[in-house]
Amino acid sequence: MRTSNRRRSTLSFLLAAAAALAVVTVVGILLTETAMETDFSRTGLPPSLDALFGTDWMGRDMFARTLSGLSLSIRIGLLTAAISAAVALALGIVSAVCGGLVDAAISWCIDLVMGIPHILLVMLISIACGRGFTGVVMGVALSHWTSLARVVRGEVIQLRQAPYILTAQKLGVSRAGIVRRHLLPHLLPQFLTGLVLLFPHAILHEASVTFLGFGLSSERPAIGAILSESMRYLTTGKWWLALFPGLSLVLVVMLFALLGDRLRRLLDPASVHG
Amino acid sequence: MPPILEIRDLSIHFVQYERGFRRRRLPVIRDLSLTIQPGQVVAVVGASGSGKSLLAHGILDLLPYNGQMEGSILYQGEPLSPRRAEQLRGDEIVLIPQGVTYLDPLMKVGDQIRRGRKDPDSRARCTAALQRYGVGPEVEALYPFELSGGMARRVLIASAVVDRPKLIITDEPTPGLDAKAAGRILGHLRELAEEGAGVLLVTHDLELALTIAHRVTVFYAGETIEEAAAQDFSSSAGLRHPFTRALWRAMPQHGFHPLSGAQPYPGTVDTGCPFAGQCSRCRPDCVQTQRIPLRPWRGGAVRCLFPEEEASS
Amino acid sequence: MGRLGHRLRFAGKKLLRMVLLLFGVSAVTFALMAASPLDPLQTNVGQAALGSMSPEQIAQLEAYWGMDVPPLERYLSWLIGALHGDFGTSLLYRQPVLTVIGQRLRSSLWLMLTAWILSGVLGLALGITAGACRDRWPDKLIRGYCFTISSTPAFWLALLLLMIFSVWLGWLPIGLSIPIGMDAASVTLLDRLRHAILPALTLSITGVANIALHTREKTIDVMESDYALFARARGERPLAIAVRHGLWNVALPAITLQFASISEIVGGSVLVEQVFSYPGLGQAAVTAGLGSDLPLLLGITVVTAALVFAGNLAADLLYGAVDPKIRRGAARS
């Protein structure tokens, strides 16, 4: 029986998805100007070849607004996921390496953060930072590190008992040296996958808090803001204002989720089978 | 009367990825042949990790999804297709697994033996089966984690034989038991054979296997290297393959002489005899010959270019 | 130490941890709100109105919004009050915080309870089906659904349902058209039900995905276990195995999962209530957040966190009741 080589096709998929996301990001940045342009001669147009996603009540092109919103979402997603993952990595390692009181304190913090529903916590942090860009970035970044921190902690504790680490300790390699030379290389695959899998959550939560009014200001063409505005025009039958931006966001999030899933499968040693 | 089970040239392999993007087939069993007559106990003896358990699973068509099987299996003279295996397993062909992990941890023992049936007849048969192995009816209300090792093993045998099977496959029935308990379990297996069933005993313990087996198949690195009658083991001279003789000499009553070196993993030796690395009689031909066939030899079979003669050793 | 004593001590330890965590939650929430650079007067009274006020009036307002007291002092006085059952007064609603939360929680509770039960039952059923039919079409279908839903923001799904069922088909009311401050007495039960259908549906649809995916993983673990192999060797069919052995063995992790989903459902309700203008706790949280109503938002956060922790506690206790190892093991020791 011959099946296609799954690893090779996984890699090509990874590259294609990353390229698609990169294109959306760049095109979105380039379209930001167009996205803000108003044209009162063509307000509230339904989708057509001229305006693919239609126009809104100020005659702004929804296609440009959607793309530039997606670009903004992706960039915020990358930023927040990176901060989140860094926090998770640091706290997870510190927790596992120090143990005792430090470990207990960090575990307690994780429980605490997990006890507050995500959206509420993002709202609270955003308020503390005065809302806006800083608010949403800090909010999303500081509420998403918990699960990954637990994974890192568990992994490090397991590694610490590995025979070769114990040997290195006996040989007098310093703590920092062990962390750098033995722990980090082993953690990297787990960490990378965790990082990519953070993107979808980060993007969804950014859109959600912006939608609620705690995130990016409504002048910015962010998906959350676009959808929040669209609510006012729903009853008048302007369905395209909500449909296309939302659908595009779903597609981008799905792409990120697939990317993370495939990466996990590629890096997971258990996937040698099949 | 056809044999209960006849296996010809059976190979089992797995598909794996190694380092990056290369796929490979990992053979775990190569060219295995054996025959079981009614009333016979046939032992398959090999070291841990030599793929023995997969043989048991393969016959029942229970291999993991990435496992593939080639060769032919005949049950009572007819091919044992996956469909037929599915119909027969549990009724005519049963498995006695290794240990307590093969029982559902959250279900009471009695319910598991009865496979969910609640009628009085099933209950009576369940109690009778347990009683046959000296297990009282109170055990039916226990959970698996409450059983001792020996008790669990007896429960597993009882669960297999409630339905009068014709072929019994047992996978390592004795590890973790003391000699007395292990002897009792093997006695039960022999008893089942005397009642007319065929028994396939898969084990790593040659000594225990010899106490009940009629015929023995020896496994080395996933290959059958010798097929012999149990009485051939009464002296080293009766054996055909250097590895079997080494096994014989490693038995406590024959001097406890260990064999130095380690068995290669299945599939790591492509050409030549897999035993070459540990063989004291290895010659250049043994390493260079592409494939060494299993051939009939003195009433058994051996996979060796220069089989042991009766006089030597 | 008897079996009961053992369980009680376990529950007591968990309860103590929960109380400590609640203290932490209140402190963190308060600190975050107090650290905010947003001026509650500007947001609620408005720049123009402030400009036309006398300094005395402004000072009075500042006192009302608690801006003249140092944060630590305010927190301590709140804490002392809270310990006596007084969570302060909502600045926007001008009612005791607990009264507002009580009202809002009552209307949200139905929503969340329906969604919680529906998503739990459906998620379990779909997860077991997918796991038992691994890699065949039911699995692919269910996985596809879960994957799509978990990539969909809850509020957009709510918008979509609103567009379909209220605007296009006209079957259900548009939440937006109902005034928020409508007199509670004038709303009939049927009316309430009609308003709750879409929010509950949205929450259930989103809640299913996570539970189904996790249950699927657990079911696969069970199907690959030694005891499932033995059941197959004994002639049991895969679907029968999934039901007979899978259900119970999956039930244990499912309990934990189900109670852990409380946090998600509460979070989802914040978004969904906003879209449907459903007068529940989530909507109150958004209003309080946007209007810098510190006591109310603090109260809501503490209450929802208490719900989440209580869920975890319930899961731990139930786990012990279902798992025979803990049940009988404790009886023995």
What pLDDT, on the 0 to 100 scale, is given for residue C2? 60
Give the number of beta-carbon pairs within 8 Å between B and C.
66
Evaluate if residue A87 carries a pLDDT over 90: yes
Q: Give all domains of chain B, ordered by start, each with its CATH number.
A: 5-92+165-223 (3.40.50.300)
Substitution target from C32, C149, C178 for chain A, most A beta carbons within 10 A: C32
- The CATH number of whichever domain residue C21 belongs to comes to 1.10.3720.10
Backbone angles phi, psi at B21, to 5 degrees: -110, 5
SS3 per residue for A53-66: CCECCCCCEHHHHH
What pLDDT, on the 0 to 100 scale, is given for residue C251? 83
Decide: helix, strand or coil at residue C10: helix
Contact in structure between C116 and C261 (CB atoms under 8 Å): yes
Decide: helix, strand or coil at residue C96: strand
DSSP code at position C89? B
Do C151 and A123 lie within an 8 Å CB cutoff? no
Do B15 and A8 lie within an 8 Å CB cutoff? no
Q: Nearest CA to CA, how far is B186 from chain C (Å)? A: 20
Cβ count near B17 (within 10 Å): 18
> Domain range spanning residue C114?
2-36+87-332
What pLDDT, on the 0 to 100 scale, is given for residue B133? 82
Task: Give the CB-side neighbour count of residue C145, counting CA atoms within 13 A.
Answer: 19
Q: Nearest CA to CA, how far is A224 from chain C (Å)? A: 9
Give the number of beta-carbon pairs within 8 Å between A and B.
21
- In this prediction, the residues of chain C whose per-residue pLDDT falls under 70 are 1-4, 42-51, 65-67, 173-189, 329-333
DSSP code at position C46? -
What pLDDT, on the 0 to 100 scale, is given for residue B43? 92
Report the domain count for chain C: 1
Q: What is the β-pairing status of strands B198-203 and B41-45?
A: parallel
pLDDT in tens, C103-138: 888 888 888 999 999 999 999 999 988 988 888 899
For chain C, how long is the longest CA-to-CA vector?
88
C321 touches chain B (CB under 8 A): no
A111 touches chain C (CB under 8 A): yes
Nearest to A1 among B21, B64, B68 (CB): B68
Cβ count near B178 (within 10 Å): 10
Provide block-wise average pLDDT over 10 residues at a time, chain B (313 residues): 87 72 74 88 82 84 84 89 87 87 88 84 88 86 87 86 86 79 84 90 87 89 86 85 86 81 74 82 82 84 80 47
CATH superfamily of A2-35+62-273: MetI-like (1.10.3720.10)
Task: Confirm whether C271 is domain-assigned.
Answer: yes
Task: Confirm whether C112 is domain-assigned.
Answer: yes
What pLDDT, on the 0 to 100 scale, is given for residue C179? 47
Predicted confidence band at A274 (pLDDT cuts at 50, 70, 90)? very low
What pLDDT, on the 0 to 100 scale, is given for residue C33? 85
Do C229 and B57 lie within an 8 Å CB cutoff? yes
What pLDDT, on the 0 to 100 scale, is given for residue C177? 41
Task: Confirm whether C177 is domain-assigned.
Answer: yes
Task: Confirm whether C243 is domain-assigned.
Answer: yes
Evaluate if residue A257 carries a pLDDT over 80: yes
Task: Confirm whether C77 is domain-assigned.
Answer: no
Contact in structure between C118 and C211 (CB atoms under 8 Å): no
Q: Which has more confidence, C18 or A179? A: C18
Two tokens at C118? Answer: 């529906």
Q: Nearest CA to CA, how far is B19 from chain A (Å)? A: 9
Task: Confirm whether C62 is domain-assigned.
Answer: no
Two tokens at C214? Answer: 């996790």
- Which residues from chain A sit within 8 angstroms of residue C154, using beta carbons? 208
What pLDDT, on the 0 to 100 scale, is given for residue C67? 67
Q: Can you tell me the distance from the alpha carbon of A10 to that of B263, in angstroms, rounded to the nearest whole number?
A: 36
What pLDDT, on the 0 to 100 scale, is given for residue A5? 66
- Which residues from chain C sit within 8 angstroms of residue B66, using beta carbons? none
SS3 per residue for chain B: CCCCEEEEEEEEEEEEEECCCEEEEEEEEEEEEEEECCCCEEEEECCCCCCHHHHHHHHCCCCCCCEEEEEEEEECCEECCHHHHHHHECCCEEEECCCHHHCCCCCCHHHHHCCCCCCHHHHHHHHHHHHHCCCCHHHHHCCHHHCCHHHHHHHHHHHHHCCCCCEEEEECCCCCCCHHHHHHHHHHHHHHHHCCCEEEEEECCHHHHHHHCCEEEEEECCEEEEEEEHHHHHCHHHCCCHHHHHHHHHCHHHCCCCCCCCCCCCCCCCCCCHHHHHCCCCCHHHHHCCCCCCEEECCEEECCCCCCCCCCC
What pLDDT, on the 0 to 100 scale, is given for residue C118? 92
Average pLDDT, chain A: 82
Q: Can you tell me the distance from the alpha carbon of C75 to that of C81, in angstroms, rounded to the nearest whole number?
A: 10
Do C159 and A108 lie within an 8 Å CB cutoff? no
Backbone angles phi, psi at B6, to 5 degrees: -135, 120
- ipTM confidence score: 0.84
Nearest to C25 among A115, A118, A128 (CB): A115
Which residues touch C217 (CB under 8 Å, ≥6 apart)? C131
Nearest chain A alpha carbon to B67: A274
Q: Nearest CA to CA, how far is C332 from chain B (Å)? A: 11
Q: What is the β-pairing status of strands B67-75 and B5-18?
A: antiparallel
Nearest chain C alpha carbon to A199: C151
Q: Taking the complete model, does pTM exceed 0.90, yes or no?
A: no
What pLDDT, on the 0 to 100 scale, is given for residue C183? 53
Q: Where are the domains of chain A?
A: 2-35+62-273
Nearest to C226 among B97, B116, B160 (CB): B97
A144 touches chain C (CB under 8 A): no
Predicted confidence band at A269 (pLDDT cuts at 50, 70, 90)? low
Decide: helix, strand or coil at residue A273: strand
